[in-house]
Amino acid sequence: MQIATPYLMFLGDVPDRLAAKTAYGINDWRHEWCVGQFRMEGCAADLDIPDLTLEQAVAQGCKTMVVGVVNAGGVLPEHWVEKIVAALDAGLDVASGLHVRLGSVPAIAEAAQRNGRALHDVRHTTETFPTGKGTKRPGRRLLTVGTDCSVGKKYTALALERGMRERGFDADFRATGQTGVFISGRGVAIDAVVADFISGAVEWVSPANEPNHWDLIEGQGSLFHPSFAGVSLGLLHGAQADAFVVCHEPTRTRMRGVEASLPTIQEVIDLTIRCGSLTNPGIRPVGIAINTQALAEPQARVLLAETEAAHRLPATDPVRFGVEGLVDRIAAEFPA
């Protein structure tokens, strides 16, 4: 899936910020692609970017209207459908993170065809991937892995992209989840791929590249999560990661959505090396990213210092304290 940029951000008439979480994430990380927002009467979300009509958006170069919002019932309300049709008629592609497929709404399917515009359903994939080959491809790759789901794997990869580019690295974030796909304009929601093609889809997401180029691949789930470990393993094998960062949330008492207890950071390091060496025998950890949001700053600093000492790896909260230490380690371990 390759989504044309820049974007007009459709916010509909959502009742709160949370319903526009994806749109906020895109604007946080790709502000330069968010030319304007399109809001309807009663909309309680605001990205603090210009409100544009469809015609203004087209005139300012927008290529795609992004529906980065959800509504309570999970359905596509009728009064949103007419705006999406109008966007297609105005010459924009439309990309959506909704569960419902845009093309399943007859009026939208007809308008896309009539105008020769593309519809992207980021939660789904129509792409047919080959199965993974496991053959080492050129370029360097870092994967963010986790002790659990929702521990900061996407944010860590994005923060590394920003931090590494600032330090002169040639580095690209590679998306494997829906918000990530909007942020990179390309990628695939890996958990929606048919099981046989997980590693093949990752090989497609992160293709061969220049020897010193870094792909920063967004991880999913955890090798220790009883629901999703298969996705995590296929992702690890397809990524052929040279390096990985372990992401962790220190206040969690059990794994998200199930009764299983959390693995230790060391267990994640060990099993990631054990399994990852199948497609890249040189795989090694380069740091630990801890989401310290729930801790006061002194406590957070103590925890990070203890973690560094215990694992002899740089540990940071990428959002709170930056990724300097991680980039130092990458530079030292992988000289150009």
Residues interacting with its own copies, by CB under 8 A? Answer: 131-135, 190-196, 198-200, 223-224, 226-235, 237, 257-260, 271, 274-275, 278-279
What is the signed CA dihedral for 104, 191, 23, 44, rounded to 10 degrees? 70
Gyration radius of the chain over CA positions = 20
At residue 186, what is the residue type? R
Minimal distance, residue 273 CB to its own copies, in Å:
12
**In contact, 156 and 131? CB cutoff 8 Å:** no
Tokens of 179: 């918000």
Question: H/E element holding 310?
Answer: helix 297-311
Minimal distance, residue 165 CB to its own copies, in Å:
30
At residue 47, what is the residue type? L
Minimal distance, residue 275 CB to its own copies, in Å:
8
Q: Burial, 182: exposed, middle or buried (Cβ in 10 Å; 0-12, 13-18, 19+)?
A: buried
Q: What is the DSSP letter of 186?
A: B
**In contact, 43 and 12? CB cutoff 8 Å:** yes
Between 117 and 124, CB nearer to its own copies: 124
Between 120 and 124, CB nearer to its own copies: 124
Question: Tokens 């990631």 map to which residue?
Answer: 272
Between 53 and 104, CB nearer to its own copies: 104
Minimal distance, residue 237 CB to its own copies, in Å:
5
Minimal distance, residue 192 CB to its own copies, in Å:
6
Spatial distance between the Cα atoms of 186 and 117, rounded to a whole number of angstroms? 17
Full strand arrangement of the beta sheet holding 93-96: 34-39, 7-12, 64-67, 93-96, 119-121
Minimal distance, residue 190 CB to its own copies, in Å:
7
Minimal distance, residue 226 CB to its own copies, in Å:
3
Residue 267: phi and psi, rounded to 5, are -60, -40
Minimal distance, residue 245 CB to its own copies, in Å:
21
Spatial distance between the Cα atoms of 58 and 55, rounded to a whole number of angstroms? 5
Between 129 and 182, CB nearer to its own copies: 129
Between 12 and 132, CB nearer to its own copies: 132
Between 229 and 303, CB nearer to its own copies: 229
Residue 198: phi and psi, rounded to 5, are -60, -55
